[in-house]
Amino acid sequence: MMDARLRALKRSAGRAWFDLFERLHPRAAVRARSEVVLVRGDGVGDLLFSLPLLESIRMRVAPARTLLVCSEAARPLAEATGAVDEVFGYDAVRYRLDPVYRWKIWTSLRARSPERALSLGFHRSPTSEELTFATGAPRTACLSGNDEMIHGAELRRFDVRHTNVVEVPDHIPERSKYDRWASLEGWGPVDWNKRYALDGFVRGPATGGPGRKGRAVLLAPGGSASIRQWPAERWADLADRLASDAVFEPRLVGGPFEAGLLRWISTRTRGSVAVHVASNTLELARWIAAGDILVGIDSAPSHMAARLGVPAVVVLGGGHFSRYFPYGSAVVCHAQQDCYECNWRCHRDRVYCLTEITVEQVDRAVRGRASYE
């Protein structure tokens, strides 16, 4: 009960703070800048998935410029792809915790005076909605979304402010939702198979290279939501199986938030498995681009592999099973359950859609992927 009251109090305080900003910073009567702001207030993986859409929008709205608003964690990678004209990054954690910082971000966006702002995430949140309206753009649009990351009352309150809310079903692939929006706006067709280089970085040969014993199989077990993760001990078992074959050289990779998980897994392996902790998303993407095969989950590294053209195996649970298909050319390992598409609101004693995926199943997928390449 107390948690519910506290959440309601935080929503009320956040709403009052943004309403105060709106009263003190009225929208300009005349737009001074031919610019479209694209807001992605969600995860790095969501942004990577939508890169072809962002680029398609940029091409169709020219000569207007496109400004992408995303987390500071995603900014270097977004800039390296060149999908938009400019990237504006903000500290996502500080945004949630520091109201003065939020005000500064809103002020910076209001000064842009864009002609239009688009909230691109289907799983809408108070952050993405505030950032969209903070621009002061006379025209705003969004997808209908759901209440997975935002209270239903807040969602309805923001809906009435948008000039256009594009209605799309919940459980259809994300690309189908965006294709519907692109068709209505004249942004399409979107090239969802588009691959990106990173500042001219080109993928090397499939095998060999300095210090390489065999095919580099990058194991990326981490992600922002622990419920989507495959059991950690199985990653150790998979690493051992691959290391026992001279064809493969397994390596554990991830960002700074996954460092503890990566090291825990490495201590459970029978041999020595290299651990690479990237300092930022761009560094992680460069490592993935230099690898031969990525094994990941429903998280940013799998989307990096898809956008960079790296062969991949994705260990996928059922909470958002259809959301990001087809994950590029990845092989998907899953264990079908009757409760698929639960939006990760699991009511069972364990997450069967992940725990029922065996090490043998993933090992076979990696070997099959390697032989295919």
**Structural domains of the chain sorted by starting position, each given as residue range(s) with its CATH number in brackets:** 33-185 (3.40.50.2000), 215-372 (3.40.50.2000)
Residue 179's identity, in one-letter code, is: D
Cα–Cα distance, 44 to 315 (Å, whole number): 18
Average pLDDT over residues 226-247: 95
N-to-C CA span, the chain: 54
Is-contact 128 40, C-beta < 8 A? yes
Residue 161's identity, in one-letter code, is: R
Q: What's the confidence (pLDDT) of residue 149?
A: 77
| Residue 31 predicted with pLDDT over 70 | no
Is-contact 310 203, C-beta < 8 A? yes
| Residue 212 predicted with pLDDT over 70 | no
Please state, rounded to an integer, the average pLDDT across all residues of the chain: 89
DSSP 31: -
Q: Using 50, 70 and 90 to split pLDDT, how confident is the model at 225?
A: confident
Q: What's the confidence (pLDDT) of residue 127?
A: 94
| Residue 207 predicted with pLDDT over 80 | no
Q: What's the confidence (pLDDT) of residue 200?
A: 44
Cα–Cα distance, 277 to 40 (Å, whole number): 25
Q: What's the confidence (pLDDT) of residue 27?
A: 78
pLDDT digits (tens, 9 = 90+) for 49-95: 999 999 999 999 988 999 999 999 999 999 999 999 999 999 999 99
pLDDT digits (tens, 9 = 90+) for 104-134: 999 999 999 999 999 999 888 999 999 999 9
Is-contact 121 46, C-beta < 8 A? yes
Instruction: Please return the burial class of 167, using the count of CB atoms within 10 Å of its CB with bins 0-12, 13-18 and 19+.
Output: exposed
DSSP codes, 335-358: ---TT-S-TT---SSS-HHHHTS-
Share of residues in the chain with pLDDT > 70 (%): 93
pLDDT digits (tens, 9 = 90+) for 144-187: 988 777 888 888 999 999 999 999 998 888 899 999 999 999 99
Is-contact 140 55, C-beta < 8 A? no
DSSP 373: -
| Residue 202 predicted with pLDDT over 60 | no
Is-contact 140 161, C-beta < 8 A? yes
pLDDT digits (tens, 9 = 90+) for 260-269: 999 999 999 9
Cα–Cα distance, 196 to 361 (Å, whole number): 30
Q: What's the confidence (pLDDT) of residue 279?
A: 92
DSSP codes, 73-109: TTHHHHHHHT-SSEEEEE-HHHHHH-HHHHHHHHHHH
Sign, CA dihedral 124-126-127-132, equals: positive
Give kind and range of the element (H or E) at residue 321: none
Q: What's the confidence (pLDDT) of residue 349?
A: 87
Q: What's the confidence (pLDDT) of residue 213?
A: 59
Q: Using 50, 70 and 90 to split pLDDT, how confident is the model at 373?
A: low
Give kind and range of the element (H or E) at residue 121: none
Backbone region of residue 268 per phi and psi (left: phi > 0; alpha: psi in -120 to 50; beta: other values):
alpha
DSSP codes, 179-228: HHHHHHHT-----TT----BTTB----SS--TT--SEEEEE----S-GGG
Q: Which of 324, 325, 292 is nearest to 308 (CA)?
A: 292
Q: What's the confidence (pLDDT) of residue 359?
A: 97
